[in-house]
Structure 1
């Protein structure tokens, strides 16, 4: 083989490898934007919970579906809004947290776009989903104003990133529980690429991120927790598994340090992988979650009774 033939062979191989890498990145970007829909594994009535199925539009018109589960004690004004993870749905969170209804909290679960029972065919690992959370708050205020006296957020993975964004913007949010939340959009995609594809960051991950940005018409990175957490001033409980391959414990600690709240805690569940803290933590997990919301979302005090012999004055 002549030197010229070797040169052309190497050039062709390099071009073929480059084209294959670009094509693979393009295909894998669909895995992020269009995750497979997971069927609902549980319904509230399986846990003997009264509930109302609700349908409401996101701020850009995508039809979202959810469940409003009233607290077992009638007339509660305390409501927790739940944000599920990427590729999951409201049923997965409800399975692990429905016990909170028995502790005096209303529970509002909904499916993000392109997930569960909601419409839409494009997810974004947190960017478009912020619109869905805004719409969930709008539905609550318009349809359940009596349940909006004290509001809290509970987010898992991608949902926790959306919840951090919401807590940084909405003063009515009293506290936030963020479980298995990633540090940044870029980092979680890089971790996903290594875990699922076994590829290093370069050159595939930047190409995947490029195609995702191109398809979304926006960059999700500014919505990452590392950028929104410093603005969160409410009490925050971070829950993290020490066997989480998507969100390493070092990244969870970095986000904890970046959070602007002076009332924050990082609780580690030994042996738990991603989205497995409830399963592994068991009763200790439920006690921790219940204690956080009972402390930071207390019931409204009962009106004081007038002292004996006092005369009640009726206004004109």
Structure 2
């Protein structure tokens, strides 16, 4: 017979089991609170500061006619079976005249294609067909979890290949805000066809892990350990999502896609310092725009003239001349 455990050993084992259960419960709780479709679609989001709510709403009123333009479109939601075997969806708005210019417009955390109608309309007025994917855990997405762009980057690659299949002359621009910007940058780290001409990243983060660290300190007001570490472990088990590997920073170090990096110098939600880290490490052709006085995701609101002049000057450099000159504005 084996030796009986001492009372002290039993207490130690019980304590370890209790600690393990607490660790798992903490990870599950954080995950359900932040990284599920239920959390995203809650009407009240106390974990988001006011500037993040601006990103969510996109302040459509500043874009004259944008919401009316979006609402007037036929319900044209595309469905595609991704290479990951999931049904992915996107709103597609064709240009008034058949052209080969395409914008893939990528929304942020808690946002939607509708909330990106303003930026999308700016491209539409210049003759772009507009594709607006629903990211995981948002809107019409079948996924019930949020991966901060990690899984979504592969879905964007599938959408790119979908467009190229139907239009081999397609010239594609990627544009994203906040989590959508991170998704954009991670997409450029993949093997993309030459049809992808350039990318615009507006206030993207370096890694999901570093962004979560910021939120632990500034929004949730809890120590990263054990809560954030427990979240990471649970996310890996639940969704195959590792916040440390959700890394636009790694992706820009192998990207070949010309990229414009935009950030407001008063952004504290995705801290302004992340711009320098991303830009300095990017090996692609690159430019950057710092908008003075802008907080998170409102650079286009603070200085719309500078913002859109810079965006389209950048885009036009990488489109073929005939494409760059076209406009239906």
Q: How does 1:1-316 map to 2 (within 5 A)?
A: 23-34=25-36, 35-37=39-41, 46-47=68-69, 52-72=76-96, 74-142=97-165, 144-145=166-167, 148-168=169-189, 169-172=191-194, 173-261=196-284, 263-300=285-322
Alpha-carbon distance between aligned partners in 1 of 2:81 and 2:170, rounded to the nearest angstrom:
23
Alpha-carbon distance, 1:141 to partner? 2.6
Q: Answer yes or no: is the 8 Å Cα contact 1:226–1:255 preserved in 2.
A: yes
Alpha-carbon distance between aligned partners in 2 of 1:166 and 1:301, rounded to the nearest angstrom:
23
Alpha-carbon distance between aligned partners in 2 of 1:286 and 1:166, rounded to the nearest angstrom:
23
TM-score, normalised relative to structure 1: 0.79
Alpha-carbon distance between aligned partners in 2 of 1:279 and 1:58, rounded to the nearest angstrom:
35
TM-score, normalised relative to structure 2: 0.76
Q: Deviations over 1:259-313 (max 9, x none)?
A: 011x3122112222222222223332222222222222244379xxxxxxxxxxx
Q: 1:248 is paired with a residue of what secondary structure? A: coil
Alpha-carbon distance between aligned partners in 1 of 2:80 and 2:17, rounded to the nearest angstrom:
49
Higher relative contact order (CA 8 A, sep 6+): 2
Relative to 1, partners in 2 of residues 1:104 and 1:176: Cα closer, same or farther, differing over 3 Å?
same
Partner of 1:313 in structure 2? none
Partner of 1:5 in structure 2? none
Alpha-carbon distance, 1:77 to partner? 0.9
Greater Rg by CA: 1
Q: 1:238 is paired with a residue of what secondary structure? A: strand
Q: Answer yes or no: is the 8 Å Cα contact 1:167–1:234 preserved in 2.
A: yes
Alpha-carbon distance, 1:133 to partner? 1.0
Alpha-carbon distance between aligned partners in 1 of 2:42 and 2:98, rounded to the nearest angstrom:
34
Alpha-carbon distance, 1:150 to partner? 1.2
Alpha-carbon distance, 1:223 to partner? 3.9
Relative to 1, partners in 2 of residues 1:217 and 1:301: Cα closer, same or farther, differing over 3 Å?
closer
Alpha-carbon distance, 1:21 to partner? 6.3
Relative to 1, partners in 2 of residues 1:171 and 1:135: Cα closer, same or farther, differing over 3 Å?
closer
The number of residue pairs the alignment matches comes to: 287
Alpha-carbon distance between aligned partners in 1 of 2:228 and 2:243, rounded to the nearest angstrom:
15
Alpha-carbon distance, 1:224 to partner? 0.7
Q: Which moved more, 1:251-260 or 1:16-25?
A: 16-25
Alpha-carbon distance between aligned partners in 2 of 1:222 and 1:50, rounded to the nearest angstrom:
38
Q: Answer yes or no: is the 8 Å Cα contact 1:183–1:254 preserved in 2.
A: yes
Alpha-carbon distance, 1:157 to partner? 1.9
Q: CA RMSD in A?
A: 3.1
